[in-house]
Structure 1
């Protein structure tokens, strides 16, 4: 009896192969043929699930964005749950853990950061990828804005903080830390990366210890 293949599971497996090829060899090497070989599939099998290279890249970007946003949302739900407010110190540490999901602090997250930066760089000259490249940043900006509004309502945010500006500054900090830690890990190790993040949050929420 032929083995029944779950189409969604197969597409995700192919996307994982894309991630491995991009991280190891660069986005320019993520051809349908190379991705199929990485996934252990015939190229015809990949074409069965994806009409072409662009469709595969868009799916891989969406898969990566969804994976990251799902992890961010777990932490955000704890922070924004009005029926179970967190103590101030735990709130800040939860924000740290949430934002750390986007930092290359271990092998998995380092791979994710390198792959995502490769996608974003490609989107600069490939309009079909642009909206998908913006998706994660827009989601992060929305989350950080909501978190800062929550801290402001609870009286923990610095009185003169401009939330729209501080949200963008926090996103820029994450981008900068991700870039430097991913490509220059000896200059910015995980411990120092987290120290920089915690120090920045202390400037926003000086009343939480």
Structure 2
């Protein structure tokens, strides 16, 4: 998603907060009359720069900003996090969404969890995430981590549990993503049709 920033001569530029709490603190949209159809994005310090055609409507701009932020997040999450980075991420999420009350003793990736995205043993303070999450968008991994962190505070999936997760703005989107993955895995394999 990187592009050469010199390729665009931005006649108009807007800066806005990113939707859904992306890591970057701001999004800058640069419009270019020379750009006809392509949209690209790259990180520049603490901001994300999205390059779009000048003729694009405001609605198209908003849609493409969301698409490009998701693509960048997916690329970044493909850089595999080790257990140490995963534990640090869990601590940051606990501090941000649960006032630091959810304190796991261990957070690690596991390869023996193929029917669950994550699991938690509150009595041991341990959280395990399925290796199948590696490479998924950052907001999805964050949601699963938060889900398991919430179990350190509230056992089960009652109303108090779901109230905790309401603080994370991408809960529904992440759940939809994971439901889509499960649905796709259940589809029967059909080899591609060949032209004869």
Question: Under TM normalisation by the shorter chain, which class is it?
Answer: under 0.3
Q: Which has the higher helix share?
A: 1
What is the TM-score of this pair, normalised by structure 2? 0.25
